[in-house]
A and B are shown apart, each in its own frame.
Chain A
Amino acid sequence: MEGLLNAAVVMANFVIVPATAYGAQLALGALGVTLIFGILRFSNFAHGDTMAFGAAITILGVWALQGAGVSLFPVPTAILALPFGILATALLLLATDRGVYRFYRRQKANPIILVIVSIGVMFIMNGLVRFVIGTEEIRFDDGARFLVDVRGFREATGLAEGLAIRTAQVTTFLTAIVFVAALFWFLNRTRTGKSMRAFSDNEDLALLSGIDPERVVRVTWVIAAALAATAGVLYGLDKSFWPTTYFQLLLPIFAAAVVGGLGSPLGAIAGGFLVAFSEISVTYAFRRALGHLLPPDWMPAGLVQLLSTDYKFAVSFVILVIVLLFKPTGLFRGTSS
């Protein structure tokens, strides 16, 4: 019995807790991608760098707040600075839409042209982030390190294995829940939110119903900015901030959005957690957990790890390919076909 408990604690410590936090980050990122796809009908390759921008501005806010002696301890100061990050990101995205995307929308350009345009935007945002904050790795998690720490857990439970839950992970999860709840409330209960869904469903009929497409687009960019900045900050809190990592997040985020069905918010969330749990459990070495379950002489020699963590991107990729091959509209039917 105790072996089982210990194994469960190991799994919780190394798989469930980190994957939940990571899944929440991916879900927020994928929500942004899927909303932009649903309303503006293109895959936004600048989304990763939008996340980096939001995180960078938030970090500047954190430094300013720290300088002024403002603190929210044990909660990281970043949560207090996040509104600034969201605001700046929203302004940036609205300006980008006005200066770049709107032209192609009026031309009714082929969506693939918009994808290439988003690559140009990605370059600029990437440069902008480096310009603003440099290329060094930045740690800005100044909250209490642990909510539950290994030793405390061991002493409280008497188990051999310990469980650590970092404040950043809990912050991530709670913030994501608040944002997702607010988003769904907005999409399902408010007039503007419903008009966005209507526009996503059937653009022409939305126009016939008097829905202002430009307003829908503007609201979409603001929401995408909020989601991207939040996802970027939470990822940076959990790991660390490094401008280049955000581009690499594009792959798992797109995988999550496509797996869930591009255009489907619920699918994006499910996809985010699916990708995160797959990535972490496939690259996790189960040896330690098995050690509590198997008799010593049954123990396998290796780490019992399916894939080295160096290849975690391959997991998102494989999930993506399987879904594309067998169910191209995603698990939750998206607007794409």
Chain B
Amino acid sequence: MSATPPGARLAGAHLLGERMTGGYGASDILHECTIEARPGEIAVIVGPNGAGKSTAMKAVFGMLRLRGGRVTIGGDEITRLSPQDRVARGMAFVPQTHNIFPSMTVEENLEMGAFLRRDDIRPTMEQVYALFPILQEKRRQAAGELSGGQRQQVAVGRALMTQPRILMLDEPTAGVSPIVMDELFDRIIEIARTGLTILMVEQNARQALEIADRGYVLVQGRNAYSDTGAALLANPEVRRSFLGG
């Protein structure tokens, strides 16, 4: 691979999970579920507990065997690829928990994110530090010693170090304070502006839909509503059933 000039980044890629059906055991959790995200867009999956939100994301990432449907990146079919192979194709995934290397320093966490890269990783690291200045300050500290919000920043930073085309976040704001949540969402918008494709599962549906270009409301593993974030927020039925009025 040739060295990437500083500041440059691969463009985002079109992500499509089409009519996905599958589950962990004998019974299916997802039923013909379709999720799509375009470059530079933030797509958000919301829904009640147990609706299969995280499962849908895991299906897109290949952590779940699909019985039906397909997943494509930029038109290339990747349905049969392992998660590791999908990472190589430009997907990055930030799990909800256990998403950092706690005994390693912040900087080492970022280095591990770039493990597969052979080019100069400094520019990307500078970008991450520019995005999350607190990480630069704490770069020599063990990631496990940081606060919840800072750990999430490390986790997102680690994922960005792979120079992904698609960034997937599983409930990035779980367990952080409202102020930290707003801050984190601002950063996510900033990341999307650079052209990345972002797919996110969120528990805080209202706030997430506010920043979403596309929203998917899942109920029992099926698409209940799919629209732009603003349209879903405006939809009285969605408001009544899922956003608490």
Q: Which residues of A contact B (CB under 8 A)?
A: 191, 194-195, 197-198, 200-202, 204-211
Complex contact A205–B87 (CB within 8 A): no
State in angstroms the CA–CA spacing of A208 and B168 once bound together: 12
Q: In the complex, what distance in Å separates the CA atom of A205 from the CA atom of B156?
A: 12
When A and B form their complex, which 10 residue pairs have the shortest distance between CB atoms, in order from nearest? A210-B116, A201-B101, A198-B112, A209-B115, A198-B101, A209-B112, A210-B115, A201-B103, A202-B101, A211-B115
Which of under 10, 10 to 19, 20 to 34, or 35 or more describes the interface residues of B?
20 to 34
Checking A195, A201, A207 against B83 with a beta-carbon cut-off of 8 angstroms, the contacting residue is: A207
Q: How far is the CA of A211 from the CA of B114 in the complex (A)?
A: 10
CA A210 to CA B112, docked complex, whole Å: 9
A210 to B102, CA, bound (A): 18
Stretch in contact with the other chain, from B17-25, B49-57, B91-99, B199-207 = B91-99
Show 27 residue pairs from A and B whose CB-CB distance is below 8 angstroms, ordered by the A residue: A191-B111, A191-B115, A194-B112, A197-B104, A197-B108, A198-B104, A198-B115, A201-B101, A201-B103, A202-B100, A202-B101, A205-B100, A205-B101, A206-B112, A207-B84, A208-B83, A208-B84, A208-B93, A208-B95, A209-B112, A209-B116, A209-B158, A209-B162, A210-B84, A210-B88, A210-B116, A211-B112
Given contacts A205-B98, A208-B87, contact A194 B116 (CB under 8 A): no
12 further A-B pairs in the complex, CB-CB below 8 A; given A197-B101, A205-B100:
A191-B111, A194-B112, A195-B112, A197-B103, A197-B108, A198-B108, A201-B101, A201-B102, A201-B104, A202-B98, A209-B115, A210-B87
Q: Are the CB atoms of B102 and A195 closer together than 8 Å?
A: no
- Shortest beta-carbon distance from B101 to chain A in Å: 4
With the chains together, A197 CA to B101 CA distance in Å? 8
Is residue B113 within 8 Å, beta carbon to beta carbon, of the partner chain? yes
The residue that B108 contacts in the complex, of A194, A202, A207, A211, with Cβ under 8 A, is A194
Q: How far is the CA of A200 from the CA of B102 in the complex (A)?
A: 10
Q: In this complex, what residue of A is CB-closest to B92? A: A208
Bound together, the chains give a CA A200 to CA B99 distance in angstroms of 14
Contacts of B116 in A (CB 8 A): 209-210
Question: Measured between C-beta atoms, what is the minimum distance from A196 to chain B in Å?
Answer: 11
Residue with the greatest number of chain A CB neighbours at <10 A, chosen from B87, B112, B113: B112
- Are B111 and A194 in contact (CB-based, < 8 A)? yes
Contacts of A206 in B (CB 8 A): 101, 112
Distance between B54 CB and nearest chain A CB, rounded to angstroms: 14
Which residue of chain A is the closest to B144 with respect to CB atoms?
A201
Q: How far is the CA of A206 from the CA of B111 in the complex (A)?
A: 11
B113–A209 touching, CB < 8 Å: yes
A210 and B111 alpha carbons, distance in the complex (Å): 12
**Nearest chain-B residue to A333 (Cβ)?**
B103
Counting chain A CB atoms within 10 Å of each CB, the highest count among B84, B93, B95 belongs to B84
Q: Taking A207-B83, A208-B83, A208-B87 as contacts, is the C-beta distance between A202 and B102 under 8 angstroms?
A: yes
Assess the A204–B112 pair: CB atoms within 8 A: no
The residue in chain A whose Cβ has the minimal distance to the Cβ of B98 is A202
- Scoring B99, B100, B115 by chain A CB atoms within 10 A of each residue's CB, the highest score goes to B115
